[in-house]
Structure 1
Amino acid sequence: MKPALQFRLHQQLTLTPQLQLAIRLLQLSQLELETELRQIAEGNPLLEFADESEDNDASAEEAAPEAEYAQTPGPAEAVTDHGIDADDSAEWTDDGGGNVETPIDFSSSSASGNARGDEDFEPQNAAPETLQQHLLWQLNLAGFNPRQTAIATVMIDALNADGYLADGIEAVRTALPDNLDASLAEIEAVRRRLQGFDPLGVASLDLRDCLRSQLQQFDASTPQRELALAIVENELELLARNDVAKLARKLRADEEEVAAAATLIRSLDPRPGAALDATPVEYVAPDVYAVREGSRWQVRLNADAQPRLGLNQHYCNLIARARGDDANWMKGQLQEARWLLKSLESRAETLLKVAGAIVRRQSAFLDYGPEAMHPLVLREVAEEVGMHESTISRVTTRKYLHTPRGTFELKYFFSSGVSTEDGGSASATAIQAMLRKLIDAENPRKPLSDQALAAELKSKGIQVARRTVAKYREGLRIPSSSERQRKS
């Protein structure tokens, strides 16, 4: 019996290679994009970066004309549901918020408004001194005998970034050379001496040991030193809760004396090694600038952050003279290069459109600060710029907007809303800013509880539950009212 024929009708979305490339580039951060383009350019001789062409021009100035950067004909390739917005123009103006997007020019750095006269001079900063180097330098001057120096060297190497000997002295003994049979008491004696090095408290086993060693370096006549040592030794938990009254009862001391001892403890450094952390500071370069001109906010692409990628005109001229397989291969590379440049142009245009929509919606934040932030979700921006929500999510991830109030990730401007008494809504970001302002202005002797904070917000027309206030407060890493209380 022959099987019956069956017909099935179904829809399937197929992304072209060009579209896949545009979507992949759209979701990359600035550094990731640079790395990706470097890898692509290494395999395509038709592509080159501006710095490479400038080097070639310096050696053979009259040999070939300069490469044309990002001068690709035609509009950016359109994506309606999955990536790049259909728009034949690189320039547009907002009638309501005053956001103007400028044409994209990957070869010019003038769009950012920053002079680059010193671009050829990179800072040559000396490598920062590490904690281990700082301690080894002191070790050479400490007068240790060879045996003690060997133990101290192993111990210094075992310190973590905070300056703690987290694995304990037993691990130090295990790491010592086989011919150095040191006892735990001998290792402990060396550790005690290391705790007096700068910064004070290094080579401690835990927080209590760290604070104790620092207090012991104070002169014996220091007010409340002994009381502070007693607190560190036995009552750190009560100190963390800032329960001065209970501390005073347990230690049989006056509350003012306990408060003074607590102040002395808080002046100590719980992470002595962190000040010499050699981890380099990472700086964020904004992708877009929000600039106020008169009464209007304008959005501009940071050209310094855009890849200066273009076609190598020398190889383009060779295509006309190539024959056979070489000609076909070079034509294919040229087509891929043009797709890439169009995708980069589309990426920049999309970034400008989305950033412009965000700035229009959050212009009150730019004018008045976080308390004026409006509720905003991806769908609202997607509808305004005619893109899919997934595209907005890609654009706003790891892309940064520089404003007069600081540099923020584009995702920062999205937040849920809370209803107000007048029928409007306030964003979660604005409520958090209000909470921080209320807490900063509170009486440290009588800090506001979560219920009191909720009542203060209600008086401003914002209805939030106590548990919501607690959630926002914890999100801001602000301790509870009992932990914030100070006895002066």
Structure 2
Amino acid sequence: MKQGLSLRVSQHLALTPQLQQSIRLLQLSTLELSQEVEQMLDENPFLELTEDRAEREDFGLNAVDATVSEGDRLSESSEVDYAPSAVADYATSTSTSSNDEETTPLSSSDEPNWEGDGTTEMTPDDGEWGVDAKGKANNLGDDEEKDATELARSAESLQTFLHRQALSLRTTATDAAALRFLIESLNDDGYLEDPLEELARCLSPGDEEQLQDLVHHFTVALGLLHSLEPVGVGARDLGECLRLQVAYLLAQAEEEGEIERAEVLQVALGICRQPMDLLARRDIKRLVQMGVGSDTLVREAIALIARLEPKPGRRFVDVERNIVVPDVLVVAIGKAGGIPKFRVQLNPEVMPRLKVHDIYANVLRNHRGGRDGAGHAALQQRLQEARWFIKNIQQRFDTILRVSTAIVERQKNFFTHGELAMRPLVLREIADELGLHESTISRVTTAKYMATPFGTFELKYFFGSGLGTESGGNASSTAVRALIKQFIASESAKKPLSDNQISDMLKEQGIECARRTVAKYREGLKIAPASLRKAL
């Protein structure tokens, strides 16, 4: 083996801390960005919130049409080598390479270098480092701002409701304790998931005699629990829950002398004792063959069961409503030549108004020649970090606005006529128009929302594949889904449309859509098949 020297020229991209932060902020949702801003405010003393609207940077929307430099194009194209997950991982740690000669270090020290273009001079006025937005005025949580009226209106839990009813029961102290234990063991739907033997074994793991005694008390308590409202609470499965409700209605009907209704309820009780898959399939023929009842009574009984509550505790669940706050607002501003015009703007409520703390920055500038050189350099780096954080946030919102404007321009028919007029659109079209990479467009459109005249949608909603048409063009998959939903909404309840029929109807509209594709879109819309949509 012969040794030798050789020269080789190659290019490598170094993901600087600034670029890492820019990529990471771009893919964050609004909630995640808010948490990131709060964390940075706690860590960096040079950042502060402001209610004033600061001037935007020169690289913002005013420079949208500026020519992209070759270096920026190289940075964008190089993102092909970095998957979003890999970039996120790279942003949190410095990767190592087996070939040290081809690795470009991020910095000579372990601390990130926030000096940007290499200059160490600070601007005369750090007040220019700001961005439009508004943050919280204080650190108080929502709970601290609630008044007594709101707390009084808070929903009552299922357990509290049951405990209040249990106070009126005449039971022994042991059975009352067992009933309290069972009430606390219910899940959010009101079901008792654990068998009584397992609950007793948790309290008495070793003594078999005591275990049997506990099971007896739990059995008595379970009967008491079944007598409480809402009817069906404490059931071990769906069948028992439905049986409890039907039995309650049957007792009422018999007490009031409703003979015909009691007959239907008797059949319903028999259906609930059968395997639940027969009821789910509405297999009337099989139920009649099993002797549950006549065809007419079985149909009436199934219709009655469908009106029961399968989850007795549902109305007591305090569901946390996830309200989507749009990042972009689209507003109609009139017509020009008969064509509607729309204004695309950022939502100011989601933009954090940040600025560099003027007092701290001025103090650091005036004490540039101090004795503690290392401490001064560290503070200067924190100041530069604050500047870059503000710049990257502003660049994030500018990119979101550019992408949203391009989407609105491409999907004008949707904003005028609705989802039936949606056209096929892929990420590459927007990327080529804006001079960005597809991965950048993907990050921008993930977990970002747009408020439109037809509702609030994620930016990814406006992208979709195309289906071939007889005219040689393409129809958006989103428009096809809307068309399928429209067909099903106008179908006959007694003769619902099958997937084959929907496929034929789409072909009549000039859209080539196979039966399996119709089934996939229908399931995506959470619409049941024709057999389950058919009215009894």
Alignment TM-score > 0.5, same fold: yes
1:287 aligns with 327
Query: Corresponding residue for 1:214?
Result: 245
Partner of 1:474: 523
Contact 1:105 1:303 in 2 (8 A): no
- The match for 1:200 is 231
State which drifts further: 324-333 or 354-363.
Answer: 324-333
Indicate the residue corresponding to 1:20 in structure 2.
Answer: 20
Q: Specify the alignment match of 1:367 in structure 2.
A: 416
Counterpart amino acid of residue 272 in structure 2: V
The alpha carbon displacement at 1:235 in A equals: 4.9
Instruction: Give the conservation status (yes or no) of the 8 Å contact 2:271–2:292.
Output: no
> 2:253 and 2:57 mapped to 1: Cα distance?
80
* In 2: Cα distance, 1:105 partner to 1:280 partner: 32
C-alpha separation between the residues in 2 aligned to 1:11 and 1:408?
A: 41
| Structure 1 alignment gaps of length 5 or more | 52-67, 85-103, 110-118
CA distance in 2, matches of 1:138, 1:26: 53
Q: Does 1:436 align with 2:485?
A: yes
- Does the Cα contact within 8 Å between 1:454 and 1:464 map onto a contact in 2? yes
Partner amino acid, structure 1, of 2:365: A
C-alpha separation between the residues in 1 aligned to 2:53 and 2:292? 78
The alpha-carbon deviation at position 186 of structure 1 amounts to: 3.3
Aligned 8 A contact 1:69 1:311 in 2: no
Correspondence for 2:356: 311
Equivalent position of 2:288 in the other structure: 248
**Amino acid across the alignment from 1:35:** Q
CA deviation after TM superposition for structure 1 residue 398, in Å: 0.6
Distance 1:2-1:358 versus aligned 2 partners, 3 A rule: same
The Cα shift of 1:70 comes to 5.0
Aligned equivalent of 2:10: 10
Matched ranges for 1:152-231 at <5 A: 152-176=179-203, 182-218=213-249, 219-221=252-254, 223=261, 224-231=264-271
Compared CA separation, residues 133 and 192, structure 1 to 2 (3 A): same
Aligned identity (percent) is: 40
Quickly say closer, same or farther: Cα 1:176–1:146, change in 2 above 3 A: farther
**How far has the Cα of 1:267 moved from its partner?**
0.9
2:394 paired with 1:394: no
Deviations 1:26-62 (A, max 9, x none): 11111111111221222211101237xxxxxxxxxxx
Range with bigger deviation, 242-251 or 375-384: 242-251
The residue that corresponds to 1:358 in the other structure is 407
SS of residue paired to 1:201? coil
Cα displacement (A) at 1:342: 1.0
Deviation at 1:376, TM superposition (A): 1.1
- Determine the structure 2 residue equivalent to 1:347: 396
1:133 and 2:160 aligned: yes
Note the C-alpha offset of 1:130.
Answer: 2.3
The aligned amino acid for 2:239 is: R
Q: How does 1:13-162 map to 2 (within 5 A)?
A: 13-50=13-50, 70-71=54-55, 73-76=57-60, 79-80=72-73, 106-107=132-133, 124=147, 125-126=150-151, 127-162=154-189
**Structure 1 residue 303, shift from structure 2 partner:** 0.5
Aligned partners of 1:351, 1:303: CA distance in 2, in Å? Answer: 13
Give the conservation status (yes or no) of the 8 Å contact 2:131–2:352: no
Residues 305 and 108 from structure 1, CA distance in 2 versus in 1: closer, same or farther, beyond 3 angstroms?
closer
Superposed displacement of residue 260, structure 1: 1.4
CA contact (8 A) 2:189 2:312 kept: yes
Query: What is the DSSP-based 3-state SS (H/G/I as helix, E as strand, rest coil) of the residue aligned with 1:298?
Result: strand
Deviations 1:369-418 (A, max 9, x none): 22221111111111112111000110111111111211111111111110
Alignment pair present for 1:271 and 2:255: no
Contact map agreement 2:469 2:512 (CA 8 A) in 1: yes
Q: How far did 1:2 drift?
A: 6.6
Q: Which amino acid in 1 is paired with 2:59? A: P
When normalised by structure 1's length, the TM-score is 0.84
> For the structure 1 residues 15 and 107, does the alpha-carbon distance in structure 2 shift closer, same or farther, using more than 3 Å as the test?
same
Superposition deviation, residue 347 in structure 1: 0.6
Moved more, 243-252 or 255-264: 243-252
Q: Which amino acid aligns with 1:319?
A: L
After superposition, give the CA deviation of every residue in 1:104-152 in whole Å (9 maximum; x if it has no partner).
Answer: 951479xxxxxxxxx9x95553243322222222222333331112111
Give me the whole-angstrom Cα distance separating, in 1, the residues matched to 2:59 and 2:229. 63
Q: How far, CA to CA, are the matches of 2:412 and 2:265 in structure 1?
A: 53
TM-score, normalised to structure 2, is 0.77
**What does residue 420 of structure 1 align with?**
469
**Residues 38 and 69 (structure 1 numbering): CA distance in 2 closer, same or farther, change over 3 Å?**
farther
- Residue 11 of structure 2 aligns to which amino acid in structure 1? Q
Q: 13-22 or 338-347: which moved more? A: 13-22
Q: Does the Cα contact within 8 Å between 2:131 and 2:354 map onto a contact in 1?
A: no
- Unaligned segments of structure 2, at least 5 residues: 78-129, 136-141, 335-339
Aligned residues: 442
Judge conservation of contact 1:290–1:401 (CA < 8 Å) in 2: yes
AA of the residue aligned to 1:338:
R
2:177, 2:415 → 1: CA distance? Answer: 58
C-alpha distance after superposition, 1:429-458 (max 9, x if no partner): 111111111112111211111111101111
Output the CA distance in 2 between the equivalents of 1:144 and 1:471: 55
Is 1:320–2:365 an aligned residue pair?
yes
- 8 Å Cα contact 1:82/1:390 also seen in 2: no
Matched, 1:484 2:529: no
**Aligned residue for 1:56?**
none
Alpha-carbon distance, 1:73 to partner: 4.8
Q: Which amino acid aligns with 1:205?
A: R
- CA shift, 1:80, in A, is 4.3
Post-superposition CA distance 1:199-230 (Å, at most 9, x none): 22111100101110111111243611101001
Quote the Cα distance in structure 1 between the aligned partners of 2:29 and 2:494.
Answer: 46
1:142 aligns to what SS in structure 2?
coil
The equivalent of 1:58 in structure 2 is none
Partner deviation per Cα, 1:283-325 (whole Å, 9 max, x = no partner):
1111111111102011110001111221212212212322433
SS in 2 for 1:468: helix
Q: Quote how far apart the aligned CAs of 1:257 are.
A: 2.0
Letter in 2 for 1:370: E
Once residues 146 and 432 of structure 1 are traced to their aligned partners in structure 2, the CA distance between those partners, rounded to angstroms, is: 60
Q: Secondary structure at the match of 1:272?
A: coil
Stretch deviating more after TM superposition (183-192 or 41-50): 183-192
Which whole-Å CA distance do the structure 1 matches of 2:25 and 2:406 have between them? Answer: 21
2:237 matches 1:237:
no
Q: Secondary structure at the match of 2:345?
A: strand
- Identify the structure with the greater helix proportion: 2
Q: Is the 8 A contact 2:134 2:350 kept in 1?
A: no
Quote the Cα distance in structure 1 between the aligned partners of 2:76 and 2:390: 16
| Counterpart in the other structure of 1:59 | none
Post-superposition CA distance 1:309-362 (Å, at most 9, x none): 212122122123224335433332222111111111111110001111111222
Deviation at 1:71, TM superposition (A): 4.2
